[in-house]
């Protein structure tokens, strides 16, 4: 029997390569790109239609994409809503259609019919005055119901402050805008935005590629492109110094906190993988610095987490999020900033680095077992200008991240000196404490905003 010295850490083996399959690619003359990824383990098929459209200001028509999201998928000009939904249920399919694409999952034997239904409903939507008025009423009711909802206010103001209303991501919906929308607005917007010029259709699962190509040509070849120059996007900027942005909500029973900054990072950049690991350590997992501090050590919250997003078209973002009681709002903010400083100034331990990698890699491997994930990855490679082996080498890239990499990207993308610390809370309980927050021997300035991001 071989003796094992358990005091010696085993040498890690070579990182496994995830083989997601190389898509078969077929392009239609109208611009639609078809990607087919075969997988015959189960008799099912995933269908993902994704439109790679640059975001565009809706201005006085803001809310129209939200309205279309509620109206889309209700049959077509040739099949009424009830018959359409009844057939989808009969085929045991999952189907959703939105202004920026569609998704379906179905048994292999029903794939041809479901593909035909998607094409019909997406290309010839059944938009009616009756449905529009019903959905407009729902949106207006939601706006009214959420007037004092701290989470909704935070989401709206965060986007407005981060990007400004001059950017599509900073626009917000008003009751008056929704009420003024017409059926012509709906059909014109859909015709303009739902186009094949930069569209990708990914079919994954138990299919015959030749049959898929034939069916896609049959159902999507007549989809007409639409060409119009898209205005250049407004370029948002970070604040010149870290500041508190406070929104007073007298009815709030706790404080919503988000600490955020914009980031210049694309998925194709070498810093992407180190930032995944750094974010996991700072606030991406349950055992992260921020969650262990605020939840476990101080008992300020049930959870505190951080995330970052990249964006093909504009600047991405980094955010730290939590909810805390009024009495501990100011102390919680200070502790968050301490943990950001910690990851920037103190090299992480080998154990923490290994834990972060293991946690993230486990999630990645599990995700690759879902057909929808494979579709997303195939689209990402095309639209994000990623190397063809980006996901095949994902694990190796994660494992290659060093402690020094973590510290470097933490300083590059967690902008401790350029944070917006946004708080939605009860001013009579917390405003004075917020005005007097000090960090690193310096008082953090505070600005007050209304529920729509307008400075008071």
The DSSP string of 32-73 is -EEEEEE--SSSEEEEEEEE-------GGGTTHHHHHHHHTT
Per-residue confidence (pLDDT) for residue 7, from 0 to 100? 52
Closest C-alpha to 303, from 336, 352, 268:
336
Alpha helices for 174-286 (secondary structure H): 175-180, 183-193, 209-220, 272-279
**Residue pair 207/110 in contact by the 8 Å Cβ criterion:** no
24-221 CATH fold:
Cytochrome Bc1 Complex; Chain A, domain 1 (3.30.830)
Per-residue confidence (pLDDT) for residue 194, from 0 to 100? 92
Residues in the chain: 456
Per-residue confidence (pLDDT) for residue 366, from 0 to 100? 84
In angstroms, rounded to a whole number, what is the distance separating the alpha carbons of residues 159 and 312?
17
**Residue pair 263/269 in contact by the 8 Å Cβ criterion:** no
Q: Which residues of the chain have pLDDT under 50?
A: 9-10
Closest C-alpha to 192, from 65, 48, 60:
65
User: Domain 243-449 is classified in which CATH homologous superfamily?
Assistant: Metalloenzyme, LuxS/M16 peptidase-like (3.30.830.10)
Concatenating the DSSP letter of every residue in 388-440 gives TTTTTTHHHHHHT--HHHHHHHHHHHS-TTS-EEEEEE-HHHHHHHHHT-EET
Taking CA atoms, 153 is separated from 2, 247, 256, 293, in Å, by 63, 9, 10, 26
Per-residue confidence (pLDDT) for residue 231, from 0 to 100? 86
The helix/strand/coil state of 265 is coil
Domain with CATH 3.30.830.10 in the chain: 24-221, 243-449
Per-residue confidence (pLDDT) for residue 41, from 0 to 100? 87
Per DSSP, which regions of 235-333 are E strands? 243-248, 254-263, 304-309, 316-325
Taking CA atoms, 406 is separated from 285, 288, 350, in Å, by 15, 14, 12
Question: Residue 128 carries which DSSP code?
Answer: -
Q: Which residues pair with 256 in a beta bridge?
A: 323, 424
Per-residue confidence (pLDDT) for residue 6, from 0 to 100? 53
Q: Give the orientation angle of helix 403-413 with respect to helix 272-279, to 10 degrees.
A: 90
Residues 6+ apart with CB under 8 A from 48: 101, 102, 103, 200, 201, 202, 203, 204, 372, 375, 376, 379
In angstroms, rounded to a whole number, what is the distance separating the alpha carbons of residues 157 and 251?
17
Q: Per-residue pLDDT tens for 179-204?
A: 999 999 999 999 999 999 889 999 99
Number of helices (H) and strands (E), helices first, in the chain? 16, 14
Q: Which residues pair with 201 in a beta bridge?
A: 34, 49
In angstroms, rounded to a whole number, what is the distance separating the alpha carbons of residues 34 and 190?
21
Per-residue confidence (pLDDT) for residue 9, from 0 to 100? 46
In angstroms, rounded to a whole number, what is the distance separating the alpha carbons of residues 400 and 391?
14
Per-residue confidence (pLDDT) for residue 331, from 0 to 100? 97
**Residue pair 398/276 in contact by the 8 Å Cβ criterion:** yes
Per-residue confidence (pLDDT) for residue 435, from 0 to 100? 96
The helix/strand/coil state of 187 is helix
């Amino acid at each position: 029997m071989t003796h094992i010295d358990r005091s010696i850490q085993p040498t890690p083996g070579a990182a496994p390569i995830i083989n997601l399959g190389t898509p078969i690619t077929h392009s239609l003359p109208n611009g639609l790109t078809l990607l087919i990824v075969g997988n015959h383990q189960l008799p099912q098929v995933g269908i993902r239609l994704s439109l790679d459209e640059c975001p565009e200001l809706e201005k006085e028509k803001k809310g129209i994409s939200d309205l279309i999201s509620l109206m889309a998928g209700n049959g077509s000009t040739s099949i009424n809503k009830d018959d359409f939904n009844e057939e989808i249920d009969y085929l045991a399919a999952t189907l959703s259609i939105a202004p920026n694409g569609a998704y379906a999952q179905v048994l292999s034997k029903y794939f041809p019919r479901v593909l035909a239904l998607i094409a019909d409903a997406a290309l010839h939507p059944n938009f009616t005055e009756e449905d529009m008025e019903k959905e407009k009423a729902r949106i207006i009711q939601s706006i009214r119901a959420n007037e004092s909802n701290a989470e909704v206010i935070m989401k709206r103001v965060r986007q407005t402050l981060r990007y400004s209303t001059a950017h599509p991501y900073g626009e917000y919906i008003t009751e008056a805008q929704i009420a003024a929308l017409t059926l012509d607005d709906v059909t014109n917007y859909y015709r303009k935005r739902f186009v094949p010029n930069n569209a990708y259709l990914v079919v994954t699962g138990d299919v015959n590629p030749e049959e898929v190509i034939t069916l896609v040509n049959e159902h999507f070849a007549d989809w007409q492109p639409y060409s119009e120059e898209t205005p250049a996007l407004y370029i948002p900027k970070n604040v010149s110094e870290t500041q508190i942005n406070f929104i007073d909500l007298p009815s709030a029973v706790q404080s919503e906190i988000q600490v955020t900054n914009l980031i210049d990072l694309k998925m194709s950049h070498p810093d992407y993988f180190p930032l995944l690991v750094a974010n996991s350590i700072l606030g991406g997992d349950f055992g992260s610095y921020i969650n262990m501090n605020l939840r476990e050590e101080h008992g300020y919250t049930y959870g505190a987490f951080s995330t970052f997003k990249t964006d093909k078209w504009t600047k991405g973002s980094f955010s730290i999020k939590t909810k805390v009681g009024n009495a501990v709002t100011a102390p919680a903010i200070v502790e968050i900033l301490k943990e950001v400083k910690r990851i920037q100034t103190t090299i992480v331990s080998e154990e923490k680095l290994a834990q972060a990698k293991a946690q993230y890699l486990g999630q990645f491997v599990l995700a690759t077992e879902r057909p929808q994930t494979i579709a997303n990855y195939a689209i990402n490679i095309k639209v994000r200008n990623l190397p063809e082996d980006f996901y095949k080498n994902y694990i190796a890239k994660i494992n290659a991240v060093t402690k020094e990499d973590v510290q470097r990207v933490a300083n590059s993308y967690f902008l401790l000196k350029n944070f917006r610390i946004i708080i939605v809370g009860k001013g009579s309980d917390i405003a004075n404490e917020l005005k007097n927050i000090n960090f690193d021997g310096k008082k953090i300035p505070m600005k007050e905003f209304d529920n729509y991001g307008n400075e008071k």
